[in-house]
């Protein structure tokens, strides 16, 4: 068991490499289907990747500069949604910002662990990134998780109580939201168990401003914290892997597709 606990992070990164490859292949399939509408493939034939490449080479009819400006304002910042409903805009921004923030933090840790450190590059940066209790790592992780939870709570409540005609609450949507909620919520007890397992001193642990108070509440139980952390970590990873693999096949794909579609549509309409 001690050997498994020591190897949990290498196991995690190998698993995520496989999951990431499967997800990229699924996204590639989606892009190939999208490419079917571009190019001159002839009746009954798909344009495929060559059609998509030809479309990219031609560029948008309104020009790249105007298109990218609208992708930013209408696709990423959701200017129209902001005008329609400030509450929905805040919830969407919280979910998107929290989720992408956590993804970036994980990607940064992977970069430091598997590329920068083996190559001996930026040792100071690597030391900070791999120190989970450093304020520059602990504070953003706690905050991004909280943002994701807040936005997800609003989205879930809206689907339950104020769905409206254009917001059907289907099982796949509920599954995606449930996975997001579980990943965000489980992150806090997972962090508290790590703090207990590693006996992190209070002056360092305090930057985990949700995980540390929870750890103090759990401490009197006197459990085998390393083992509890290991198994909860595996469940957390399983949920994250399921979400990533499911992502390209669900309506959650709009997180990546919607900014491009909204930006192109707004650009062609003239803003």
CA 176 to chain CA mean position, Å: 12
Q: pLDDT truncated to tens, each residue of the chain (271 aa)?
A: 556 666 666 666 677 777 777 777 777 666 666 555 544 444 444 555 566 566 667 766 667 777 777 777 777 777 877 888 888 888 888 888 888 898 899 889 888 888 898 888 889 999 999 899 999 999 999 999 999 888 888 877 776 666 665 555 556 667 777 888 888 889 899 999 999 999 999 999 999 999 999 999 999 998 999 889 988 988 888 888 888 777 777 766 666 666 666 666 666 665 4
d(CA 144, CA 96) in angstroms, rounded, equals 10
DSSP string, 30-93: HHHHHHTTSS---TT---HHHHHHHHHHH--TT-HHHHHHHIIIIIIS-HHHHHH-HHHHHHHH
Q: How far apart are CA 100 and CA 149, in angstroms?
A: 13
Q: What is the pLDDT of residue 99?
A: 83
Assess contact for 35 and 52: CB atoms under 8 A: yes
Model confidence, pTM:
0.73
How many other CB atoms are there within 10 angstroms of residue 263's CB atom? 22
So where are the chain's domains? 85-269
- CA atoms of 19 and 39, how far apart (whole Å): 32
Range 74-79, long-range pairs (CB < 8 A, 24+ positions): 74/262, 74/263, 74/265, 74/266, 75/258, 75/259, 75/260, 75/261, 75/262, 75/263, 75/266, 76/259, 76/263, 78/262
The pLDDT, as a whole number, for residue 4 is: 60
Query: Quick count: other Cβ atoms within 10 Å of Cβ 211?
Result: 27
Q: Is 171 exposed, middle or buried (0-12, 13-18, 19+ CB in 10 A)?
A: exposed
For domain 85-269, give the fold: Fumarate Reductase Cytochrome B subunit (1.20.950)
Sign of the CA dihedral running 166, 172, 178, 180: negative
Exposure string over 47-78, b if 16+ CB within 10 A, otherwise e = bbeebbeebeeeebeeeeebbeebbebbbbeb
Considering only CA atoms, which of 115, 135, 117 is closest in space to residue 127? Answer: 117
């Amino acid at each position: 068991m001690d050997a498994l606990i020591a190897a949990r992070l290498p196991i995690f990164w190998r698993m995520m490499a496989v999951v990431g490859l499967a997800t990229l292949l699924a996204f590639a399939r989606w892009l190939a289907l999208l490419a079917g509408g571009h190019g001159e493939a002839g009746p009954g034939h798909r344009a495929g990747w060559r059609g998509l490449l030809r479309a990219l080479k031609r560029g948008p009819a309104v020009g790249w500069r105007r298109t990218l400006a609208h992708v930013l304002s209408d696709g990423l910042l959701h200017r129209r949604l902001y005008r329609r409903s400030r509450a929905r805009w805040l919830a969407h921004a919280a979910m998107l910002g929290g989720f992408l923030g956590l993804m970036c933090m994980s990607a940064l840790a992977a970069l430091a662990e598997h590329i920068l450190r083996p190559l001996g590059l930026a040792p100071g940066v690597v030391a900070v990134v791999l120190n989970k209790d450093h304020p520059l790592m602990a504070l953003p992780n706690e905050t991004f998780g909280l943002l994701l939870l807040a936005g997800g709570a609003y989205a879930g409540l809206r689907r339950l109580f104020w769905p409206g005609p254009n917001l059907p609450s289907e099982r796949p949507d509920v599954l995606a939201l449930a996975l997001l909620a579980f990943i965000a919520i489980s992150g806090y007890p997972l962090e508290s168990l790590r703090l207990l397992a590693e006996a992190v001193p209070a002056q360092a642990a305090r930057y985990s401003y949700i995980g540390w108070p929870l750890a103090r509440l759990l401490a009197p139980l006197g459990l085998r914290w390393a083992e509890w952390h290991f198994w909860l970590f595996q469940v957390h990873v399983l949920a994250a892997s399921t979400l990533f693999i499911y992502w390209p096949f669900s309506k959650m794909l709009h997180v990546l597709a919607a900014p491009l579609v909204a930006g192109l549509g707004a650009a062609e309409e003239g803003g």
